[in-house]
Amino acid sequence: MERTNTVTQPYWDGIEQDKLLLQHCTACDAYQYYPRSLCAKCHASSLDWAEASGRGVLYSYSVVQRGPSPAFQSIAPYVTAIVELAEGPRMFTNIVDADPADLKVNEPVAVVFREGPEGLKLAYFAPSES
């Protein structure tokens, strides 16, 4: 299965350059994640791309004890999470470089870029000071 298309390609190009890019609607000034062809807020098609700050807060998380495939089983336990980005959207991701027992909802996190368990470079988040 192909991971990119004309709508998502800029996002993946950013990941390859260690940049978290979000779509930005020039009609209503909203940011959105995940990439799509229309603004989720006002339905305008006037979307451009902007580099995100890479900062956010841990909105919700779960510790996965048993991965769904051999690649993910090899890294279990791991933390899946929803991060609320400073720009507003929420992003499904993983938390790295943290003991799951020490995580707290609303704690600050920052983006880090790493190769995932299936060899794909991804944006993850780690606890940060601010």
Q: How far apart are the first and last CA of the chain?
A: 38
Residue (of 57, 32, 34) closest to 46 by Cα position: 32
Whole-angstrom Cα distance, residue 89 to residue 49? 14
pLDDT (tens digit, 0 to 9) for every residue of the chain, 130 residues total? 456 788 999 999 999 999 999 999 999 999 999 999 999 999 999 999 999 999 999 999 999 998 888 888 888 899 999 999 999 999 999 999 999 999 999 999 999 999 987 788 999 999 998 6
State the pLDDT at residue 57: 98
* Dihedral, 106, 112, 114, 116 alpha carbons, nearest 10: 20
Which DSSP state fits 21?
E
Whether residue 46 contacts residue 97, with contact meaning beta carbons closer than 8 Å, is answered with no
Domain ranges of the chain: 9-51, 55-127
State the pLDDT at residue 2: 59
DSSP result, 65-92: SS-SSHHHHTT-SEEEEEEEETTS-EEE
pTM of structure:
0.91
State the pLDDT at residue 1: 42
